[in-house]
Structure 1
Amino acid sequence: MSDTTDMIKSPRTPARWLPYAGAALALCLAVLALVAMTTSRADATTPGADSADAGFARDMAVHHQQAVELSFVVRDRTDDEEVRRLAYDVINTQANQRGMLLGRLDAWGLPKTSQKSPMAWMNHEMDYKPHDGSLMPGMATDTEMDKLRTAKDKDAEVLYLQLLTAHHQGGIDMAQGAADLAEDPTVVRLAEGMVRGQQSEMTLMADMLADRGASARQ
């Protein structure tokens, strides 16, 4: 009797586990789907090292650093309050923006330097050739920086305004490229803000140069 009972019960034993096995399988599939979805989202929202977002963040951080340096130099070369006030604004604005750009690279886990040529991320041929410390369009050369360091008063003011005007024009072109190509919303907003802010300062500097009997370099 017991043998018969065992033979009857034995085939049914695995069936008791089927609901649990099915639930476990469903749970595993759900976990795998969640992992895949999370990975997909991370890939979609984190720019790659060669992306326009990362390239712009790296290049504009370098570009901004020189504008800050120019502004610190002129503050020591003139007592003119209007020029010193502009320099103060540039130092604060661009140092803050530079920090935000480097912060994005940190958040993405990407390097702050690249072996690629500056502005390669803009995906078009660059006629500009780096020279004498000027790595990107608009950047002052080492020779021009040295000249500013030795100039005084009106000469320093005019040279600073001319160098910064050219610097802003190069910065605007780069920022507009990022506004068009970048995908990270924070980077796009930052780039658009740079375009507006530097265009406004270029208008101001044109007036300041005219007041000093000078104009922007062609």
Structure 2
Amino acid sequence: MAITDWPTHERPREKLLKLGAKNLSDTELLAIFLRTGTTGRNAVELARNLLTHFGGLSNLFSADKAALCNVQGVGIAKYTQLQAILEIARRTICEKLERGCMMNTPQLVRDFLHLSLANKQHEIFMAIFLDAKHHMIATEELFTGTLTQASVYPREVIKRALYHNAAAIIFAHNHTSGSTEPSQADKALTHILKKALDLIDIKVLDHFIIGNNEIMSFAEHNLI
């Protein structure tokens, strides 16, 4: 049945206008974005199928082009729209972080890192460079691949920190396994970076490990 044949109060768009976006389900929100379904399947049914196929919104938004476009009813256009929405959300949070002290907005920091790193197909090591008042100056993905002491170079981190004239820095990387348990290599790498940056009076505030659905903070576990 087409959504236009549904009772008005059950249609996602009308429901959003009446109750607000926060009162819609993931399926209903995604259906509004999709706008149209496929032959024999309306937008809500297509949205439900996508969420079931990928296991939720997070996995859906992080799916690569081939995986997404292999699903019937999804093509390049919808893939690029999904990526655009994800980037808009990330940039919105980034703008808020640039305007305020990051230490006063810990949840925004976590949201930003989750949008940037969760569910990636390879490991990414990134840094958030901060000024003396802990306002964000810049973010950079510094290294990719298997992250170890041998593949993350302290001199390159120092070079970028000095380039941005940073007074402090926050590190983050993702675990492709989805787990946020820090390995011995993670702990050793953090210690080496902190020691190197201490020499040039740049403070390491935290190191986050991003899993699929959670974030681990070295500072909160007294590992910094």
For the aligned pair, the TM-score class normalised by the smaller chain equals under 0.3
| Structure richer in strand, relative to its length | 2
Query: Rg larger in 1 or in 2?
Result: 1
Kindly indicate whether structure 1 or structure 2 has the higher relative contact order, using CA contacts under 8 Å at least 6 residues apart: 1
More helix by share: 1
